Amino acid sequence: MNIPLILRTLGLVLLCEAGAMLPSLGIALYLGENDYKAFVISIFTLTIIGFTLSRTRIISSDVGYREGFIIATASWLFLALFGSLPFMISGAIPGFIDAFFETMSGFTTTGASVITDVEVLSRSILFWRSVTHWLGGMGVIVLTLALIPSLKIAGMKLFRAEVPGPAKSKVLPRVAQTSRELYKLYLIITIAEILALKLAGLNWFDSLIHTFGSVATGGFSNYNASVGAFNNPAVEYIIIFFMFICGMNFALHFHALHGNFRPLWKDPESRLYFSVTVIAVVLIAINLITVMDYQPGTAFRQSAFQVVSILTTTGFVTADYNQWPAFSHGVLFLLMLIGGCAGSTGGGIKNVRYLILFKSASRQIARLIHPKAVIPVRLGREIVPEELVESVLSFFFLYISILLVSTLIITSMGIDLLSSISAVAATLGNIGPGFGVVGPATNFAAIPAPGKLLLSLCMLVGRLEIYTVLVVFSARLWRS
């Protein structure tokens, strides 16, 4: 285990985080907000710790999967731990567990909040809260598409074709190059949404906050009523569009931006994602029209917003869907378990895994009828390796197990079964709001402190696609 290299990387991560606090400090100073002190102290602390760690002497630059797993898990933990400093020091969120939950929710692009009234917070604090989303979203794309493709299931292939062969010495330059391209793409999408929201009538600050929330599929808003506060259909449709785009594989956008739309049209995962969205929007709209007597236009808009927001695991809301009929609850709960596409900022189980799960299941049926047939699982034209099929099948089992066991622990704190299961589904899937006491009109303040810690862990486990975190907790890793 290359501990010095891990420490050094974490030091660099903290220095980046300190740098990311600078705009918030700038806003505090520009607007004369008292919270500038919180940022000065935080930046100072982070710089000292980060600088010290980054000076760790490196004996070897060998870095394998093992180090990768630890770096990924520890980075998100460090970001959340130290990123909570401005909240605690400013008094915006005085308690450590609450501040940690909120920051983890930010960096994992979950968007679950413990703040009962966000509208009383200073702009600099609100800005920092949303910056955590934006950084987290960028981190996840780079992590899943460039850094540890071994954990990825599809998508990476698209990039691999672009860059020179698999020679070991070229891994680092390749990662650097891919990351640069992804940063550029992420930035372009971000700027496009800021401008679109500004044109639709939002001020610059609101545009920035809601852009960070949607491109990262995060969901933090600076209004208690979330996007519903604007009461502006144009804004809603713009946000629907960008949430939807950012729930798709960024590798496909990369090609599209270079004029190659073929991978986008041909991608089986995108087709499933699109179909799920259309079917869910129609089902809920019909349900709202027939049971709740909504006007068709309103029903469609509210359904589209909530469906895309939940499926992409963003968590913005324009309606209190807790008040919707049981069938709409059922559809939304199912969407919570589906999530976005691989290689996106979205969370959840992901559409491509469902493709593999369905194909493996239908292969089982075929095998019972033709016991000797050899039937490969295919994605488009490519054959999915058997180890990957089993890995995806086990992923599904682990996801459901973690969901159910965590639910059980939350119920032990006196939270009802439906609220508990939706709280875990909403954090494990990096979505944000759930049902019942953690519904869209309320927040996670009602969950006791140990529950908030568990849900923070769920966010981390979900964000890093389970295996990364489980590997780090495995005794085997540390023995070897």
> CB of residue 451 vs its own copies: minimum separation in angstroms?
12
Q: Which is nearer to its own copies, 182 or 288 (CB)?
A: 288
Residues 213 and 111 sit within 8 Å (Cβ to Cβ): yes
Q: Which is nearer to its own copies, 370 or 381 (CB)?
A: 370
> CB of residue 385 vs its own copies: minimum separation in angstroms?
12
> CB of residue 352 vs its own copies: minimum separation in angstroms?
14
> CB of residue 468 vs its own copies: minimum separation in angstroms?
9
> CB of residue 286 vs its own copies: minimum separation in angstroms?
10
> CB of residue 107 vs its own copies: minimum separation in angstroms?
23
Q: Which is nearer to its own copies, 330 or 380 (CB)?
A: 330
Task: Compute the distance between CA of residue 253 and CA of residue 198 in angstroms, rounded to an integer.
Answer: 23
Task: Compute the distance between CA of residue 132 and CA of residue 80 in angstroms, rounded to an integer.
Answer: 9
Q: Which is nearer to its own copies, 36 or 467 (CB)?
A: 467
Give contact residues for its own copies (rule: CB under 8 A).
65-66, 69, 150, 287, 291, 325-327, 329-331, 333-334, 337, 357, 360-361, 363-371, 387, 389-391, 393-398, 400-401, 404-405, 407-408, 410-412, 414-418, 420, 435, 467, 470-471, 474, 476-477, 480
Q: Which is nearer to its own copies, 135 or 415 (CB)?
A: 415
Q: Which is nearer to its own copies, 120 or 369 (CB)?
A: 369
Q: Which is nearer to its own copies, 218 or 462 (CB)?
A: 462
Burial of 357 (0-12, 13-18, 19+ CB in 10 A): middle
Residues 122 and 37 sit within 8 Å (Cβ to Cβ): no
> CB of residue 1 vs its own copies: minimum separation in angstroms?
11
Q: What residues are paired with 383 via a beta bridge?
A: 378
Q: Which is nearer to its own copies, 67 or 162 (CB)?
A: 67
Burial 396-407 (b: 16+ CB within 10 A, else e): beebeebbeebb
> CB of residue 133 vs its own copies: minimum separation in angstroms?
28
